[in-house]
Amino acid sequence: MATAERDYYEVLGVGRNADEAEIKKAFRGLARQVHPDVSDAPDAEERFKEVVEAYEVLSNTETRELYDRYGHDGLRSGGFRPSQFDFGNLTDLFSAFFGDDFFATNARTRRGRGADIAAEVEIELTDAARGVQREVPFRVAIACSRCDGQGVEPGTDVITCPTCGGMGRVQHVSRSAFGEFIRTQACPECRGRGELVEHPCEQCDGAGQVLEERRLDVDIPAGIHDGQRIRLSGEGHPANAGGRAGDVYVRVRVRPDPRFVREGDDIFSTVDLTMTQAALGGRVSVPTLDGDEELEFEPGTQPGQLVVLRGRGMPVLQGFGRGDHRVLVNVAIPRQLTDEQRDLLARFDESAGEETYRPDEGFFEKLKSAFR
Ligand SMILES: [Zn+2]
Ligand SMILES: [Zn+2]
């Protein structure tokens, strides 16, 4: 995180109207220049974090808009926090943005970093509306307790590899018209280790590691969308030689709710009124994200009519406010009538005139807006 708050556009050296490609290009160039593995400047690390933070904000439409309008304060009150990272996991960040080869020439960032783990959790739409904490299980590699991580069955010995005599490397000599070629390569028998395990550990099959189930409480933010991922930094597989552990990426599945359709941050649902409820008016209970709620319908409510519950949709993830909830009115017409009921309706029809069914001019427009 930058201590002094510099303008993000200035940090990346782009104009206020820079498009996505320009921002990405600027960041890419700067990242290569100021990365602490490349730069000798004493403040390289701070400078680099600043560049990453600027890119993080400006590359996301939501946060960029927030920043453009309200600046650093707007981001803070909008709940934006720059990613916490150390330089071990940056390679992954860059791989995600730029493809795999970004730091391919720089082995330092890659060495000793544990592998990432993918996990998944499913929540209800109503949980996504409020935000929820969930226990997420995943399996992480730990050193095998039986063989102490060595892969060798206790009480047995490792033997010196007979193929390479313990050297771990073998030489291939080939003759051709141009002379003799000597090629050295890793021993195929012991894979370069110089020794062979005659009796692999029974618990881990010689791998030296076993998978252990772990559970972590994960805070799922309100407004999360189906398929979004939450990173648990450093909770992944451990590294081999004391390096940094990998991360866990929790994919959040938001189960569809049969009562609602979600479109971005808006919620859409229907309500069934009976023919008489629509004609006479009345109170009808409708489901909302905040629980059932009674809505008052005027006499003469029409099918296709729309009730907009402002600010009652999904919360805006890392932003302000909530979307809207739109309720579309459906009117149920009787499918089966007794003789008496048919009689009543026939008599009603005789008394009905043009004024009874006064047309609603805006009806088609309202219907169209419901499907926007
Ligand atoms: Zn073992
Ligand atoms: Zn060998």
Q: What is the pLDDT along the chain (372 residues), one digit of tens a residue?
A: 444 578 999 989 999 899 888 888 888 888 777 776 666 677 777 788 888 888 888 888 888 888 888 888 877 777 676 655 545 445 445 544 544 344 433 333 445 788 899 999 999 999 999 999 999 999 998 889 999 888 899 999 888 998 888 888 888 777 766 667 777 888 888 888 888 888 999 998 888 889 999 999 999 999 999 999 999 999 999 887 678 889 999 999 999 999 999 999 999 999 999 999 999 999 999 999 999 999 999 999 999 999 999 999 999 988 889 999 999 999 999 999 999 999 999 999 999 988 888 876 666 676 676 665
Cα 154 to averaged position of ligand 1 atoms, centre (Å) = 9
Amino acid letter at 31? A
Residue among 99, 103, 115 at smallest CA distance from 247: 115
**113, 88 in Cβ contact below 8 A?**
yes
Cα 299 to averaged position of ligand 1 atoms, centre (Å) = 76
**Distance in angstroms (rounded) separating the CA atoms of residues 264 and 315:** 10
The answer to pTM > 0.85 is: no
Encode pLDDT of 233-287 as tens digits: 999 998 876 788 899 999 999 999 999 999 999 999 999 999 999 999 999 999 9
* Cβ < 5 A residues, ion ligand 1: 144, 146-147, 201, 203-204
Cα 186 to averaged position of ligand 2 atoms, centre (Å) = 8
Amino acid letter at 68? D
Cα 235 to averaged position of ligand 1 atoms, centre (Å) = 22
Could you say which DSSP state residue 324 is in? -
Distance of CA 301 to the CA centre of its chain: 42
Cα 311 to averaged position of ligand 2 atoms, centre (Å) = 69
Which ligand neighbours the alpha carbon of 154 most closely? 1
**Distance in angstroms (rounded) separating the CA atoms of residues 295 and 301:** 12
* Gyration radius of the chain over CA positions: 33
Encode pLDDT of 186-202 as tens digits: 888 888 888 888 899 99
